[in-house]
Amino acid sequence: MPTRDALTIAQERELDLVEVAPNAAPPVCRLMDYGKFLYEKQKRERESRKAQKQIEIKEVRLRPKTGEHDIQVVLTKSRKFLAEGNKVKVTIRFRGREILHRDVALNLMQRVAKDLAPSSIVETHPAFEGRAMFMMLAPGSSVTEEAEE
């Protein structure tokens, strides 16, 4: 159909003539209310953003001399964070001469990883950065299965 005829039909129906496929031979156009189309498109995008789950990184901090009860509290918090689907960053900070005993911190990191093993996967193994040691834990397969149900 010639463009002029399509434009007159669109004006009669109080609609817009929108080019859908400009590279086709001949180009394909559609009669539609373009403002309503854009509004519905934005609405769909907003709904899809709401449905997405943002993964947060929660940090728990320890020291090489952290007491047993405090470690249990940190483990409980970490389990809760992992159950919510968040990643957990375990940090051990060294002060003063504590940095000479890296093996104590490494043992503590391994213990935390072992205690959280049923609900997590070690994403980043313990590594040193300055005066701290870091380890990243991601939710494990059992947590993701529970979240899907």
Q: Give the list of residues 6+ apart from residue 104 with CB closer than 8 angstroms, or none.
A: 64
Set out the domains of the chain in order of their start, with CATH numbers.
3-51 (3.10.20.80), 57-148 (3.30.110.10)
Record the pTM.
0.61
- Write the DSSP string, 68-81: HHHHHHHHHHHHHH
Q: What is the pLDDT along the chain (149 residues), one digit of tens a residue?
A: 888 888 899 899 988 888 888 888 888 888 989 899 999 999 999 888 887 777 889 999 999 988 999 999 999 999 999 998 899 999 999 999 988 888 999 999 999 999 998 889 999 999 998 899 999 999 987 654 555 54
The pLDDT of residue 146: 53
Q: Give the list of residues 6+ apart from residue 77 with CB closer than 8 angstroms, or none.
A: 58, 60
Q: Which helix (H) or strand (E) holds 84?
A: none
